[in-house]
Chains A and B, each alone.
Chain A
Amino acid sequence: MAFLEVKDLQVYFPVKGGIFNRTVDHIKAVDGVSFEMEQGKTYGLVGESGSGKSTTGRAIIGLEEITSGQVLFDGKDITDKKTKNKAFRKDVQMIFQDPYSSLNPRKRVLDIVAEPLRNFEKLSKFEERKRVQELLDIVNVSPDSIFKYPHEFSGGQRQRIGVARAIALKPKLIIADEPVSALDVSVQAQVLNFLQEIQKELNLTYLFISHDLGVVKHMCDNISIMYKGRYVEQGSTKDIFENPQHIYTKRLIAAIPDINPRNREKQFEFRKEVADEYRKSFNHYFDSNGLAFALQSISDTHKVALPEKG
């Protein structure tokens, strides 16, 4: 049984119009996404902005209403708002993209990190403070700073405070929505390594949402590529980087910058080639609406969205 199973997830946003403000159309942010996750692994979800990757993550945790489909967590159906009970809230946490807005500017670090504890555990003031200090210690923020306010910290520190809050209840799954893209590159690696460390310690499962293939390659065991609300390719990190099948994946990978300046010419040529191929074979890889086809398995771990044969 899979740890988290998402079946044909759809999230549509209504477009209002007309005299009575009725729903006249939908924007299909997530349009039929299915995947499974195993405990203790990291799953990458990659796509350009507007591809629906964040919406997928937010729908699983309940920040967006699910239009149709099913989400099973530990075998329990948690699709509907009402079924997202306390146990689920405790087991699934989220790390937000922007560490400047995800911490309440009016609250002290103590209150921020203790917020989940206050919701789920009845601790005395003393115990609570001790737990918060332990958590801050885990994320390498000085435990003395519990009475400071978020604006007194740097971006990287704030993101780590956000992580401390997310792991306070010892969750099983953490949805990390672009957790480092708002940070300076120098701080990114620091936060990423740290996320990997606590993963081992706490046996966490990550759903790692990002637009940065380099980061995803570094972090993930398994990667899914998303385009216009659908999956175009899914596979192990090796599958995706060494044997990309879908033209969209190829193009994304070709776009990763190469740090060796001598390869610049070669890289440029390669990109041009891929771009040409993309143009020529677009109709082969996408249906008449420019959307991806359904996924087909090409190996045990590797699935690609290709038109059905015949």
Chain B
Amino acid sequence: MEADTVKMAEQKSPSALNILLRELYRDKLALVSLIFVLLITSFVFGVSIFLNQDEIVTVDLFSINAPPSDQFILGTDYGGRDVFGQLIIGTRNSLAIGILVTLISGIFGVAYGVVSGYFGGHIDNVLMRVIDFFMVLPFLMIIIVFVSMTPSYSVISFSLIMATFSWMGIARLIRSKALQEKELDYAQASKTLGTSRFNIIFKQVLPNITSLIIVTMTLNLAANIGLESGLSFLGFGFPEDTPSLGTLLSYARNPQTLEFRWWIWAPAAILILLLMLSVRNVGEALRRAADARQRRG
């Protein structure tokens, strides 16, 4: 075991992703979580190709609120729509928007944080005040207001609104890391070697914080899936003809549904929980791996 790791260290390049994946492999719970997430993702994206979304969201008055049966594995909702089909499409939509929002806010936040941390001084001061301001906003309410005001509301505008209010955390984290990194000799050395600021930031410093970025984005993905389903639950997420996991849950705001028709909302609730838990598991394991790697130097 010991000899194996030494050998691997010699052969493999210490690319951030490689090390993280190797550590992940050792952490069984995280590995199971990762496999679960990958299975669910490929399943819902695969199956939803064969599902007709229009057909699923079409109201069928002859089978309203049907309990699980052979025809409808998970029954139907108040519009007689197949819950199982909605669950698959909903999971796909929730995952897709979670990933999209995480990428948008992540890329923006990383760029913002790296610039702020690397340049420091007045630029940093101003950029940090902006973040401070965004952080104290009651962002949930403002997102809801934006969602209800946007004229031609679509999935894209929804994810942009969500991203607008979820880039600050990663920006802050990356900024403080960049602040540390730029004081290290290798960044100073690049300066004396005539490397441009842009290249120092994005080619020298950035590769050294990739593991932090990967970890944070994974954890953000879990948070964004939760935020999206929460907004959809309140009725300010996807429109009803584009079901998400939150949409299914929102049916439970009707006390009748909550009390007597568990099949409509419980599977979605469990799925959201499992997804968030698994993604977080993966993220936490990656974080432990990244920390351990830093300790080793």
Of residues 105 to 156 in A, which have CB atoms within 8 Å of B's CB atoms? 105-108, 115-116, 119-120, 149, 151-152
Q: Which of A66-74, A88-96, A187-195, A290-298 contacts B (4 or more CB under 8 A)?
A: A88-96
Nearest to A106 among chain B residues (CB) is B207
Q: Is the CB of A89 within 8 A of B192?
A: yes
Nearest to B192 among chain A residues (CB) is A94
Nearest to A95 among chain B residues (CB) is B189
A98 in the interface (beta carbon within 8 A): yes
Interface string of A3-17 (1 = CB under 8 A from B): 000000000000000
On whether A104 and B208 interact (CB within 8 A), knowing A96-B185, A151-B14, the answer reads yes
Of residues 1 to 42 in B, which have CB atoms within 8 Å of A's CB atoms? 9-10, 13-16
A83 in the interface (beta carbon within 8 A): no
A266 in the interface (beta carbon within 8 A): no
Q: Is the CB of B186 within 8 A of A102?
A: yes
Give the total number of A-B pairs whose CB atoms are below 8 A apart: 66
Q: Is the CB of B184 within 8 A of A101?
A: yes
Q: How far is the CA of A280 from the CA of B190 in the complex (A)?
A: 48
- A213 to chain B minimum Cβ distance, whole angstroms, is 24
Q: Is the CB of B185 within 8 A of A149?
A: no
Q: How far is the CA of A152 from the CA of B12 in the complex (A)?
A: 11
Q: Is the CB of A119 within 8 A of B194?
A: yes
Q: A98 contacts which chain B residues (CB < 8 A)?
A: 185
A32 in the interface (beta carbon within 8 A): no
Interface centre among B10, B188, B196 (most CB of A within 10 A): B188
Nearest to B10 among chain A residues (CB) is A152
- A100 to chain B minimum Cβ distance, whole angstroms, is 8
Q: Is the CB of B208 within 8 A of A63?
A: no
Q: How far is the CA of A115 from the CA of B184 in the complex (A)?
A: 17
Q: A149 contacts which chain B residues (CB < 8 A)?
A: 13-14
Q: How far is the CA of A97 from the CA of B192 in the complex (A)?
A: 14
Interface centre among B188, B193, B195 (most CB of A within 10 A): B193
Q: A104 contacts which chain B residues (CB < 8 A)?
A: 186, 190, 204, 207-208
A61 in the interface (beta carbon within 8 A): yes
Q: Interface size (A, Cβ < 8 Å)?
A: 30
B191 in the interface (beta carbon within 8 A): yes
- B8 to chain A minimum Cβ distance, whole angstroms, is 12
On whether A165 and B193 interact (CB within 8 A), knowing A101-B185, A104-B208, A106-B208, the answer reads yes
Q: How far is the CA of A246 from the CA of B186 in the complex (A)?
A: 37
Q: How far is the CA of A273 from the CA of B194 in the complex (A)?
A: 50
Q: Is the CB of A105 within 8 A of B208?
A: yes
A103 in the interface (beta carbon within 8 A): yes
Q: Is the CB of B189 within 8 A of A119?
A: no
Q: How far is the CA of A120 from the CA of B194 in the complex (A)?
A: 8
Q: B196 contacts which chain A residues (CB < 8 A)?
A: 119
- B290 to chain A minimum Cβ distance, whole angstroms, is 13
A22 in the interface (beta carbon within 8 A): no
Nearest to A100 among chain B residues (CB) is B297
Q: How far is the CA of A80 from the CA of B267 in the complex (A)?
A: 67
Q: Is the CB of A102 within 8 A of B189?
A: yes
Q: How far is the CA of A162 from the CA of B207 in the complex (A)?
A: 20
Q: A106 contacts which chain B residues (CB < 8 A)?
A: 14-16, 207-208
Q: How far is the CA of A265 from the CA of B218 in the complex (A)?
A: 66
Contacts A89-B192, A102-B186, A105-B186 supplied; 17 other A-B pairs, CB < 8 Å: A61-B192, A62-B192, A63-B192, A86-B194, A89-B194, A94-B192, A96-B189, A100-B297, A101-B186, A102-B185, A102-B189, A106-B207, A106-B208, A119-B195, A149-B14, A151-B297, A165-B189
A-B contact pairs, 17 of them (CB 8 A): A63-B192, A89-B192, A89-B193, A93-B192, A101-B185, A101-B186, A102-B185, A102-B188, A102-B189, A104-B204, A105-B14, A105-B208, A108-B13, A120-B194, A149-B13, A151-B297, A165-B193
**B residues whose Cβ falls under 8 Å from a Cβ of A:** 9-10, 13-16, 184-186, 188-196, 204, 207-208, 297
**A residues whose Cβ falls under 8 Å from a Cβ of B:** 61-63, 86, 89-90, 92-94, 96-98, 100-108, 115-116, 119-120, 149, 151-152, 162, 165
